[in-house]
A and B are shown apart, each in its own frame.
Chain A
Amino acid sequence: MILKIYYLSKLYLLEQIRRQVHLVTLFLAVILLMLPAYVNSFSLGLSAFERVAKDFGLTLISFYAVAMAIFLGVTAVSSDLERRTLYPLLARPIPRWAYLMGKFVGVLVVLVSSVLVLSCCLMLSIAALAKFADGQLIVVALCYALEASVLAAACIFFSTFSSPPLAGVLGVFLYFVGGLSQSFISFFLVEDRESPAVAMLARGLKMVMPHFDLFRVKNAVVYTLPLEPAYLLSITGYALAWMLLFVLLAERVFARKDL
């Protein structure tokens, strides 16, 4: 069965290459390669230059990963259904969970490889001016890849019971609410706007959603703070648990779906 999942993922990857998803990644990679030179032209000084370049570059990677996760997650199954390429595949002796896993693994490979390429570009371009390659940039970018992978799994789940646009909206909603930090809720919703009811709702929703804010460890690399391996391990486990949950839920719904 693992081989069948591999072949389904391969088919998905070939499809994404055909859709030229990698061209978007390459375009962003060029921006990231040129970014430090642009930032440096403001003569901020080496330390400030590094901080601004890392901050901006990582933010760009994070947005890219989220957008890709929503797009790929929502379209992974629905595009097969829409184009009817699903029927000859599911007529094969493959359980539906294996089909879903094949798709999910394909999405993961696209996401992680894109983020890796982009973070390497950012690291190299900063290293060209700062004369120091900061490997933590890649670690932080991989945390974003974990965040995006959870989001992609959620979007695949949403797409099993709703239309692609609705699944996309649900994905965006999950990303925003799940990404709200406790300090944001306390400060902006309670103290600044005096809306404890909204804050309570946000807290309640956040409790049942993945805490995306846990993956945002950009400050560690921007301000050269230490990143504890135990923390990285724990958020990896956390992400895997959420991915597993979403894939299982997707399987439950998809197994009962009339196609």
Chain B
Amino acid sequence: MSDLALEVRELRKTYKTVGGTQEALRGLDLSVRKGQVYGYVGPNGAGKSTSIKILLGLVRPDSGTALVMGHPAGSVEARRLLGYLPEVAVYHEFMGAEELLVLHAALAGVSASDRLSRCRTALEMVGLGSRMKSRIREFSKGMKQRFGIAQALVADPPLLVLDELTSGLDPIAQLELKELILSLKERGITIFFSSHMMSEVETVCDSIGIIHQGKLRAEGTLQDLLSIENRVAIHFRGPTDELAELNPQPAKAGEQVITVEQAGTDAALDRIRQAGGSILTVAPAKRHLEDVLHQLVTAGEAA
């Protein structure tokens, strides 16, 4: 049995538009291992939503294959094994949280005897245990997102597909949802997670795929994608004027950081010590995910 939760090969989709056609996916390849939190990032119009809709069977691909937990994407079997949070989560707002969740549980095939307990567990898991009887329209935006996660979790699926989880939420709500994702990860749930928020992706994801112009431009662990080949970052405290030739940059709380070629590490360390500085950490140099995305997008557009 495959250890892949999602497997996408050579997926293509072209939409007909008023003026002609628009290629949304141009041979997308993607692999998500079971138990991973996979961040799916890319600029607007990159093809994220189209690929997620194909995984859910809402859009039919022109060619290629997509498997969800080993079943063809869009099939009833595949949908039984995933929970989905839409980008713009709109629910029947006139209904109570528990009432609507019971209905979703029924549609997901949860047996009548388990429905209520599953709904309560899901609502408690997302921190809405005290608001089970509240109508959805009484919820704040953050609470609606939490409810959305509860409806995705209600059938206890092994895979969650979360489309733009924290878009439009305040920083506190974002933080709370990040913590929720991490707790779901601890339970062994595979999470496929699209986002524009790079900081969020950096903090919760094990692996990242960057899509641009309908194709996956980079894929790997966070460390693989963010580390800069053959460069080392040295964090230190000490005089900066005397080390101006190393071009130190301010880091947190009085610290400085320099990045040097791996081969020049020892020389740089000696130089800092000679100037009376104290070394704090020496680690492979890293970029921010924004920089990686920007670089890939720029390269893609230039090509």
| Distance in Å: Cβ of B115 to nearest Cβ of chain A | 11
A1-36 contacts to B, CB under 8 A, are 3-4, 7-8, 10-11, 14-15, 18
User: Nearest CB to that of B60 among chain A residues?
Assistant: A258
Q: Could you tell me the distance between the alpha carbons of A95 and B77 in the complex, rounded to whole angstroms?
A: 11
Q: Could you tell me the distance between the alpha carbons of A90 and B76 in the complex, rounded to whole angstroms?
A: 10
Q: Give the interface size class of chain A.
A: 20 to 34
Q: Is A63's CB within 8 Å of the partner chain B?
A: no
Residues of A within 8 A of B57 (CB): 90
Tell which of B77, B95, B107, B108 touches A8, judged by Cβ atoms closer than 8 Å.
B107
Residues of A within 8 A of B92 (CB): 11, 14-15, 18, 85
Q: Known contacts A90-B57, A92-B107; can you find 7 more A-B pairs with CB under 8 A?
A: A14-B92, A14-B94, A15-B94, A18-B92, A91-B58, A258-B53, A259-B53
Q: Is B88's CB within 8 Å of the partner chain A?
A: yes
Residues of B within 8 A of A11 (CB): 92, 103
Count contacts on B: residues with CB < 8 A to the other chain.
Answer: 30
The answer to whether B80 touches A93 (Cβ under 8 A) is yes
What is the interface of chain A, defined by CB distance below 8 A to chain B?
3-4, 7-8, 10-11, 14-15, 18, 83-85, 87-95, 256, 258-259
Q: Could you tell me the distance between the alpha carbons of A88 and B88 in the complex, rounded to whole angstroms?
A: 10
Tell which of A15, A93, A258 touches B77, judged by Cβ atoms closer than 8 Å.
A93
What is the interface of chain B, defined by CB distance below 8 A to chain A?
15, 53, 56-60, 76-77, 79-80, 82-84, 86, 88-92, 94-95, 103-104, 106-109, 148, 151
Given contacts A88-B84, A88-B86, whether A258 and B58 have CB atoms under 8 Å apart is yes
User: Nearest CB to that of B80 among chain A residues?
Assistant: A93
Interface of A is mostly: helix
The answer to whether B95 touches A91 (Cβ under 8 A) is no
The answer to whether A4 touches B106 (Cβ under 8 A) is yes
Q: List 23 A-B contacts (CB under 8 A).
A: A3-B106, A8-B107, A10-B103, A11-B92, A14-B94, A15-B94, A87-B56, A87-B58, A87-B86, A88-B84, A88-B86, A88-B151, A91-B58, A91-B79, A91-B82, A92-B79, A92-B104, A92-B108, A94-B76, A94-B107, A95-B76, A259-B53, A259-B58
Tell which of A3, A93, A256 touches B79, judged by Cβ atoms closer than 8 Å.
A93
